[in-house]
């Protein structure tokens, strides 16, 4: 019986660690995405830092990526950038790959 409980605890710990890893990678991805968008909007370094944080915060509005895409599309459109939703989604995927690569290389 203890083997089953030990295995159950192990699975719960792995699930929690996987969720934490996914959260960290998503936050890093959103910072990378915010940096990209800030560059398109010609923001200063201070504004870029604030904008990256705002993009990370936007991801807490709802599950999935729609809240981030909506924020970037609205901000880039307001800044007179000719960026489409498809462009943002492509960049989001690129940033996801880069964020995962960076995270994994830091984990050693």
pLDDT digits (tens, 9 = 90+) for 3-61: 777 777 877 777 778 788 999 999 999 999 999 999 999 999 999 999 999 999 998 88
Compute the distance between CA of residue 84 and CA of residue 89 in angstroms, rounded to an integer. 9
Inter-CA distances, 28 with 1, 39, 60, Å = 41, 17, 14
| Domain ranges, ordered by start, for the chain | 2-107
Residues 6+ apart with CB under 8 A from 72: 33, 37, 55, 83, 88
User: What local confidence, expressed as pLDDT, does residue 46 receive?
Assistant: 97
Distance of CA 39 to the CA centre of its chain: 17
User: What local confidence, expressed as pLDDT, does residue 102 receive?
Assistant: 95
User: What local confidence, expressed as pLDDT, does residue 77 receive?
Assistant: 96
pLDDT band at residue 78 under the 50/70/90 scheme: very high
Class of domain 2-107: mainly alpha
Note if the pTM is more than 0.85. Answer: no
In the predicted structure, residue 70 carries a pLDDT above the cut 70: yes
């Amino acid at each position: 019986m203890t083997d089953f409980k030990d295995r159950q605890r192990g699975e719960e710990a792995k699930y929690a660690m996987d969720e934490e890893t996914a959260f960290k990678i998503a936050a890093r991805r959103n910072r990378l995405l915010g940096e990209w968008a800030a560059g398109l909007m010609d923001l200063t370094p201070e504004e870029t830092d604030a904008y990256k944080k705002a993009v990370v915060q936007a991801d807490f509005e709802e599950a999935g990526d729609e809240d981030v895409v909506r924020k970037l599309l609205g901000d880039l459109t307001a800044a007179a950038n000719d960026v489409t939703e498809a462009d943002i989604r492509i960049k989001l995927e690129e940033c996801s790959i880069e964020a995962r690569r960076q995270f994994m290389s830091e984990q050693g």
